[in-house]
Structure 1
Amino acid sequence: MKNLGAEIRSWAGSIGAAIVCALLIGIFVIQPTKVMGHSMDPTLHDQQRIFISKLSHTFRYEPKYGDIVIIDSRVDRSRTLMDDIEEHPLISLFTGEGENEIIYVKRVIGKPGDALEFKDHKVYRNGEALDEPYLNETMNYSSNEKLVVPEGHIFVMGDNRNNSKDSRSIGFIPLDHVLGIKL
């Protein structure tokens, strides 16, 4: 009986260590996620599983133009480490919460200091029309406003421009709201 108790404690310790490692890896290094909706069609599809590198979020570095990023769309509030923990897929197994509707998958269009314009069915960055071969239809959105991306923020859009809730409606994305970059 003594050996059985020691064996159970050994297994419990190993399982506990594995769970802690999975949490740490998922919060700080790499995490699977699911695309919800059609805003990234045709590049990514509804319910498609993707992996994201969390290193940009962990070390607070700026994504590159064209990167597909995962963002927290609640741009009017600050993020904390607790947000990262609560959004981890392993935690949602225990809490019973499903995929998070505040997490968006989008493409980086503008970085700090960029001037963006939307005219002639195209996006212009710093006066130059973007070459966007990933789009499958002409963008219907236009605006007379010139937007300048503030320091510490990015501007994101979905590839399905006519069916995407993105920076045009939610505003500039603080860099700490960029949760990762698609691998």
Structure 2
Amino acid sequence: MSTGTLIIVIIGALCLLFGILYTKKSTLRVAVGLIGAILLIYGGYTYGNIQPVPQIETFDVGNKLKVTYPVKAVQVLSPVDGDTIKCRILTLGVYPEAHDKDIWVLLEPSDEKFYPQSDDTNTSYKEDGQWQVVTRFGGDEGETYHLIVYEADDSASAFFSETIAKWKAANDYVGLELDEIPEGAVEIDRIKVTLGRDCRGVH
């Protein structure tokens, strides 16, 4: 709440309180109380209108492969290899029934560094043989990315989560070198996609 709005609300509350408690002149009491009520309503209306509207992240879903059952390995279903994609997409895949490792998607753009993808700092969401994660691109139109899927043990997952948390806190997403990827993360699938528009500065 801004200082001006806060002052209006305080004055309105005092006027309303005066109108309730003052008993000598009924006309003055009603007038001041009415002013207080109007100020409170105005302050509340102003506060409601100046609040920033939360930005809701939107994403697209690319082309999708048909699932072949039974699923025998972790696999990317969408996007598909060679897709032209937008700045924010939902990467979808499947995993076999007995799979008990975490699944992470890492992007490798033209700088040849690796960027773990996450809805916050968590692993890809898994349920009933399917997994997904919102994947964010920040490069130039026509830039090629490798979208790489890793299986990760607990230690590797913790490393990726902590890395994302540090980048977010510093607002500096520097990427990982290949030799920084922990041994507990094993590459299991990889596709190549191309940006269909300029995504730099898109949040």
Mark the structure with the bigger radius of gyration.
2
The verdict on a shared fold, with TM-score over 0.5 as the criterion, is no
TM-score normalized with structure 2 length: 0.28
